[in-house]
Amino acid sequence: MSDITIKLNGSDSVGREGMTILELAQKNGIYIPTLCHDPHLKPAGACRVCLVEDEKSGNLLASCVTPINSGMVINTNSEKVLEARRTVVKLLLAGHPDSCIICDKGNQCQLRKIASELGIGHIEFDRVRKYYPIETANPFIERDISKCIVCGKCVRGCQEIEGIGAIDYVYRGFKTKPATALDLPLEQSICEFCGLCVSLCPVGALTDKLSRYKGGVKESIRTVCPYCGVGCSIYLNVRDQEVISVSPAEEGSVNRISLCVRGRYGFEFINSPERLKTPLVKKNGVFVEATWDEAISFVAAELNRIKEKYSGHVLAGIGSYRCTNEDNYLLQKFFRAALISNNIDNSARPSVLSSFNGVEESLGIWVTTNSIEELEGSDVVLIIGSDLTQSHPIVGQKIRRAVKVNDAKLIVINPDDITIANFADMHLKLKAGTDIALLNSFINVIINEELYDKEFVDIRTEGLEQIKEHILKYPLEHVEEITGILKEDIRSAARSYASAERAAIVAGNDVIRYGYGREAAIVLANLAMLTGNIGKESTGIYYLAPHNNLQGACDMGVLPDFLPGYQKLSNHSVKEKFEREWGIKLPGNEGLTVREIIHAAKEGKIRGLYIVGDNPVLGYPDKDLVLDALQSLEFLIVQDIFMTETAEMANVVLPAASFAEKDGTFTSSDRRIQRVRKAIEPLGQARPDWKIIEELSTKVGYPMNYDSPAQIMDEIARLTPIYGGIDYVRLAKGGLQWPCPDKTHPGIKFLYENSFTRGKGKFITVEYVSPTGWSDDRSDLSRMIRSVSLFTSGTGSMTKRSGGLKFMSEMSQKKEVIK
């Protein structure tokens, strides 16, 4: 684009072709007031507050929509301009209620600010006000449309950024206002309560109910959302040791100016009166408060007693997808170094780790290959096994934008009528549990019609001949009978995916809902490799972790068969490295998985169990089995922020700090390591998990002495090649995506550009097995995947302590019952 020079307030200013007057003024530090403009939205020119004067013609121009032209002479604050702005603002105020003194928007109101800047006092126009009842029924957003100035930011934000369109203009002329379809309340519309409209509103027409009348924010601390695996960056807005609101942290974040309803409004659990505040020891079946020294000493004595009587192999631990990387690292170190046991796992096992081995065989490592923000640049997106607008709303937003803004094709494979399917070019409503057959038939079409990337396959992969022979078992007519999908639709979907320059696969938890996680992971890898849609931007496979630090818990070695960084226990040189650092001899045998731990506890083979931040009584499929297992233990320790159903069965309950009360890091689904920062002091006597584990380990007889989580991360970096370049100094500037092997490495946005972890990608044949032929293990896995909801997360320990989420969850359940 060529440069254009204009006169701006008497000085030459140079801008690029297509730039608006407002953009050029802002570039040069010249202030022009606006009400309807936002840099994230398309210019609208609705409010006319940004008027400037073209001195050549004498015309007033809306600076936000007028492009610069060579030779323009623009004045942004002439008397003519100022008088026009005053008139516009006075007209707005003439229809505005006189409630500024009690309006919660206060000094954040842009209309009030601009009126003050223009020196507006008396308004000579007749007052023509609009009165609407204040809408307060939903728990998140209060709507006082009497204050609306029809700037359109809420409407445009919902349509352009979120891609939902829950609100639009209704009526005409003086009666025009933003509203839902049929002017129904928000809770009866398609609104997802992301709160973007509230953050965009320049006046008090839309306000957050949770932060109303709590006073101004004293401090805003940047951290990471504690819910799903997207890893949204947020600010915790604090006043008087209380988080009063949450807002998006735009710079360098995947979410930009957006959040989902959980991320924005699900913070009330932090200051919940139900939080655990003191250590509790059960005596004669009743919990009594104890000091930290009493509780830690008791736990250490019992663990040592069991270890000395039976050995460390009868002790087990369950880590947490809610805890930081540093917490989880110390937990697995405590078990391996202090208790001499590899019986350490996390509850990711039932939800994602069944697919781990499959990806390891074909690509080399189970992990999301590409960055979440790249989805907006994909030509085709194939979603399988994920109701992602419920589970990962920000990913849903990215895909909606890919479809609506970039004209991407969307293929949804799901037996249910999920919301994202409304935006799809094709919704393949297959019979439940038949995904493998369908995906094999895609490969059949791609190979038979020679749509595959021959160069990529020849250079980067092996095993194609086996696949060619294997897919003969999946003719489209046969797969149509299995899946219920017409063969024409199968062929069309396969062609769309294969012919795309940049096609991405988004796989969710439902892929393994029916117990075939390994097989699904392999066949998805086959599909991506076959078409060359891996190893480049906006392609690859996205495994959406259902929880905030599930990826990090696995990275940290909270696994019975891997040390931190997916380094195999069976690797002699790896073991020696950790033994030198930790000063111990590591146990040789692989440990037990979560499922095996539960069964072993019931059989008396596990005597002591330490559960950190997990609630298996509520979260695992067979509640009776879990109850029997926990009751069979000699000793149970639970470390959590609430008295969960599992904690009620414990011998000792240790109160942990929430994510808002400690420092650390989380790792998102797309391998992005980000800083978690302490915003408030822990409630009561609660302590950060890493500190509790450190003190317990020292009391058991294996001293740990860390000054801070930063020091723990330094140890992680020394021992874990994929985290080798990570430290808190670098993370202060923003997140880094592993692998990041050294301090000069920028991290990797997408994997496998030149080679796979295992060298060449390997095609592996996968057979479809009818659900009726599954083993009990597969049935267990299918039951372990809980249904997702926009208003709940995990077992609900946090969301049900956030009043608005709890209210909307219950309302949603009632709607489902009515259906």
Residue 512 — pLDDT band, cuts 50, 70, 90?
low
Q: Are residues 639 and 508 in the same domain?
A: no
- The average pLDDT across 450-466 equals 96
Please tell me the total number of residues recorded for the chain in this structure.
819
| Sequence-ordered list of residues with C-beta below 8 angstroms from that of 128, at least 6 positions apart, any chain | 94, 95, 174
Report how far residue 781's alpha carbon sits from residue 514's, in angstroms, rounded to the nearest whole number.
Answer: 7
Q: Note down the domain range covering 30.
A: 3-94
Nearest CA to 338 among 315, 318, 357?
Answer: 315
- Does residue 813 lie within any of the structural domains? no
Report how far residue 760's alpha carbon sits from residue 463's, in angstroms, rounded to the nearest whole number.
Answer: 10
- The average pLDDT across 242-249 equals 96
Report how far residue 793's alpha carbon sits from residue 782's, in angstroms, rounded to the nearest whole number.
Answer: 18
Tracing tokens 């809306």 back to the chain, one arrives at: 62
Model confidence at 819: pLDDT above 50: no
Q: What is the CATH number of the domain that holds 180?
A: 3.30.70.20
> Which residue type is seen at 643?
M
Q: Are residues 773 and 671 in the same domain?
A: no
Q: Check: CB of residue 234 under 8 Å from CB of residue 270.
A: no
Q: Are residues 86 and 7 in the same domain?
A: yes
Count of domains for the chain:
4
- Does residue 450 lie within any of the structural domains? yes
Give the residue with greater pLDDT, 812 vs 251. 251
- Does residue 218 lie within any of the structural domains? no
- The average pLDDT across 609-626 equals 92
- Please give the mean pLDDT across all residues of the chain: 92
Nearest CA to 399 among 374, 418, 417?
Answer: 374
Residue 781 — pLDDT band, cuts 50, 70, 90?
very low
- Does residue 670 lie within any of the structural domains? yes
β-bridge partners, 282: 287
Q: Is the pTM of this model over 0.85?
A: yes
Residue 807, classed as helix, strand or coil, is helix
Residue 523 token pair: 């066949």
Residue 785 pLDDT: 44
- Does residue 79 lie within any of the structural domains? yes
Q: Are residues 146 and 28 in the same domain?
A: no
Model confidence at 513: pLDDT above 90: no
Instruction: Look at residues 208, 238, 271 and tell me which one is the last residue of a structural domain.
Output: 208
- The average pLDDT across 56-74 equals 93
Model confidence at 159: pLDDT above 60: yes
- The average pLDDT across 197-221 equals 93
- The average pLDDT across 249-268 equals 96
**If you ran DSSP here, which 8-state letter would residue 193 be given?**
-
Q: Are residues 348 and 398 in the same domain?
A: no
Nearest CA to 774 among 553, 516, 575?
Answer: 516
Report how far residue 164's alpha carbon sits from residue 155's, in angstroms, rounded to the nearest whole number.
Answer: 10
Q: What is the CATH number of the domain that holds 332?
A: 3.40.50.740
Residue 695 token pair: 């003190």
Instruction: Look at residues 34, 68, 94 and tell me which one is the last residue of a structural domain.
Output: 94
Q: Each residue of 158-187: b (16+ CB within 10 Å) or e?
A: bbbbbbbebbeeeeeeeeebbbbeeeeebb
* Beta pairing class for 167-170 and 177-180: antiparallel
pLDDT tens column, 699-734: 999 999 999 999 999 999 999 999 999 999 999 999
pLDDT tens column, 402-423: 999 999 999 999 999 999 999 9
Q: Are residues 459 and 563 in the same domain?
A: no
Report how far residue 786's alpha carbon sits from residue 783's, in angstroms, rounded to the nearest whole number.
Answer: 7
| Sequence-ordered list of residues with C-beta below 8 angstroms from that of 722, at least 6 positions apart, any chain | 555, 565, 566, 738, 739, 740, 741
Nearest CA to 211 among 257, 145, 265, 255?
Answer: 265
Q: Are residues 528 and 575 in the same domain?
A: no
Residue 779 pLDDT: 45
* Beta pairing class for 461-462 and 426-428: unpaired
Q: Are residues 490 and 566 in the same domain?
A: no
Report how far residue 344's alpha carbon sits from residue 318's, in angstroms, rounded to the nearest whole number.
Answer: 6
Q: How far apart, in Å, are the Cα atoms of 26 and each of 22, 31, 76, 252, 658? A: 6, 6, 11, 21, 41
- Does residue 106 lie within any of the structural domains? no
Model confidence at 536: pLDDT above 90: yes
What H or E segment, with its residue span, contains residue 51?
Answer: strand 51-54
Report how far residue 562's alpha carbon sits from residue 344's, in angstroms, rounded to the nearest whole number.
Answer: 10
Q: Are residues 598 and 709 in the same domain?
A: yes
Q: Is the peptide bond before 739 cis (omega within 30 degrees of 0)?
A: yes
Nearest CA to 722 among 737, 735, 741?
Answer: 741
Residue 473 pLDDT: 92
Model confidence at 758: pLDDT above 60: yes
Give the residue with greater pLDDT, 374 vs 787. 374
Q: Each residue of 433-472: b (16+ CB within 10 Å) or e?
A: bbbbbbbbbbbbbbbeeeebbeebbeebbebbeebeebbe
Residue 36 pLDDT: 96
Report how far residue 787's alpha carbon sits from residue 546's, in angstroms, rounded to the nearest whole number.
Answer: 11
Give the residue with greater pLDDT, 93 vs 513. 93
- The average pLDDT across 527-534 equals 97
Residue 123 pLDDT: 85
Q: Are residues 189 and 333 in the same domain?
A: no
Q: What is the CATH number of the domain that holds 27?
A: 3.10.20.740
Q: Is 236 exposed, middle or buried (0-12, 13-18, 19+ CB in 10 A)?
A: buried
User: How many CA atoms are closer than 13 Å to the CA of 591, on its beta-carbon side?
Assistant: 35
Residue 225, classed as helix, strand or coil, is coil
Residue 775 pLDDT: 46
Instruction: Look at residues 208, 240, 266 and tell me which one is the last residue of a structural domain.
Output: 208
Q: Are residues 187 and 299 in the same domain?
A: no
Residue 784 pLDDT: 44
- The average pLDDT across 134-140 equals 92
- Does residue 145 lie within any of the structural domains? yes
Q: Check: CB of residue 364 under 8 Å from CB of residue 757.
A: yes
Residue 126 pLDDT: 81
pLDDT tens column, 795-807: 889 999 999 999 9
Report how far residue 152's alpha carbon sits from residue 183's, in angstroms, rounded to the nearest whole number.
Answer: 16
Report how far residue 142's alpha carbon sits from residue 153's, in angstroms, rounded to the nearest whole number.
Answer: 16
Residue 363 token pair: 């690509």
- The average pLDDT across 378-398 equals 95
Which of 62-71, 94-103, 311-320, 344-353 is predicted with the least confidence, judged by mean pLDDT? 344-353
Q: Following DSSP, what letter does each residue of 358-420 receive, concatenated?
A: HHHHHTSS-S--S-GGGGGG-SEEEEES--HHHH-HHHHHHHHHHHHTT--EEEEE-SS--GG
Report how far residue 651's alpha carbon sits from residue 633's, in angstroms, rounded to the nearest whole number.
Answer: 10
| Sequence-ordered list of residues with C-beta below 8 angstroms from that of 544, at least 6 positions apart, any chain | 228, 229, 368, 386, 388, 391, 392, 395, 506, 507, 508, 509, 669
Model confidence at 663: pLDDT above 50: yes
Nearest 5°: the CA angle 387, 393, 399 is 80
Q: What is the CATH number of the domain that holds 465?
A: 3.40.228.10
- The average pLDDT across 534-549 equals 93
The percent of residues above 90 in pLDDT, for the chain, comes to 83
- Does residue 711 lie within any of the structural domains? yes
> Which residue type is seen at 133?
P
Residue 776 — pLDDT band, cuts 50, 70, 90?
very low
User: How many CA atoms are closer than 13 Å to the CA of 471, on its beta-carbon side?
Assistant: 24
Q: Are residues 74 and 138 in the same domain?
A: no
Residue 468 token pair: 């060619």
pLDDT tens column, 352-375: 666 666 677 888 877 899 999 999
